[in-house]
Amino acid sequence: DTEVTQTPKHLVMGMTNKKSLKCEQHMGHRAMYWYKQKAKKPPELMFVYSYEKLSINESVPSRFSPECPNSSLLNLHLHALQPEDSALYLCASSRDTGNEQFFGPGTRLTVL
Amino acid sequence: GQQLNQSPQSMFIQEGEDVSMNCTSSSIFNTWLWYKQDPGEGPVLLIALYKAGELTSNGRLTAQFGITRKDSFLNISASIPSDVGIYFCAENAGGTSYGKLTFGQGTILTVHP
């Protein structure tokens, strides 16, 4: 298995909802990442997990809460989001933080 | 913070033509990555470069890590319609920011049949 999977593919939520994005990889990678991407812009890093520990938080608002339950799974919990949070959310993984990163297909999030 | 200057911003070419794009940085880096992204999909890694001067090919793609370690280029030969997409260069910061990818602004490639 050489891919990163993300669910759901699309998500529409209201500003008072609580939802979660899920990411999974079975490549034995020990680093996992969340990125946010607006249309026609490059991805922007949100969080880095290394060996299941949060190593980088790019000053992301607390309404985004990451979780790494084990070395294969990465979640992003969403609560009280704003319409401007609508974007493509990408998960990535790499063997270690110094190695090339492989991206999942993304979750298209719309906040109403 | 670190910035990558990627050019050109967009290219409109005929099928069969060769394409060249490049990225420059004000800082020295140890890694250059090139990704392609199709609409609504995640970026796909095309080529990874780890040594200054390194020249690597992947089919019709060729990329080089500049000898000064501050630049990289990506060439696509004999373009085909499926080459359409956005191409990003990226570098991996070191030190305490290891794992943080910084991306160029992207090159939007359009190929006319």
Cβ of residue B80 closer than 8 Å to a chain A Cβ: no
- CB neighbourhood size of A15 (10 A): 13
Percent of chain B residues past pLDDT 70, beyond the cut:
94
Q: What's the pLDDT band for B92 if we cut at 50, 70, 90?
A: confident
Q: pLDDT value at position B100?
A: 86
Q: What's the pLDDT band for B8 if we cut at 50, 70, 90?
A: very high
Q: pLDDT value at position B97?
A: 66
Confidence check: pLDDT of B94 > 70: no
What's the one-letter identity of residue B87?
A: Y
Query: Which of A90, A97, A98 faces B42 most closely, judged by CB atoms?
Result: A90
Per-residue pLDDT reduced to its tens digit, A67-107 = 999 999 999 999 999 999 999 999 999 999 888 999 999 99
Per-residue pLDDT reduced to its tens digit, B62-89 = 999 999 889 999 999 999 999 999 999 9
3-class SS of residue A71: coil
Q: What's the pLDDT band for B95 if we cut at 50, 70, 90?
A: low
Mutation target vs B (from A100, A108, A110; most B CBs, 10 A cutoff): A100
Q: For residue A109, how far is the Cα from the chain centroid?
A: 11
Query: Which of A41, A45, A98 faces B98 most closely, judged by CB atoms?
Result: A98
- Measured CA to CA, the distance from residue A83 to residue B6 in angstroms comes to 30
Our CA-based measurement puts residue B82 at a distance from the nearest CA of chain A, in whole angstroms, of 18
Q: Which of A2-6, A48-52, B8-12, B42-46 bottoms out in mean pLDDT, i.e. has the lowest?
A: A2-6
Residues of A with CB under 8 A from a CB of B: 4, 6, 31, 33, 40-43, 45, 48, 50, 55-56, 58, 88, 90, 92, 94, 97-98, 100-106, 108
Query: At which residue do the structure tokens 């060439």 appear?
Result: B75
Mutation target vs A (from B30, B37, B84; most A CBs, 10 A cutoff): B37
Task: Give the residue from chain A lying closest to B45, CA to CA.
Answer: A102
List beta partners, residue B37. Answer: B86
Task: Give the residue from chain B lying closest to A6, CA to CA.
Answer: B42
Q: What's the pLDDT band for B29 if we cut at 50, 70, 90?
A: confident
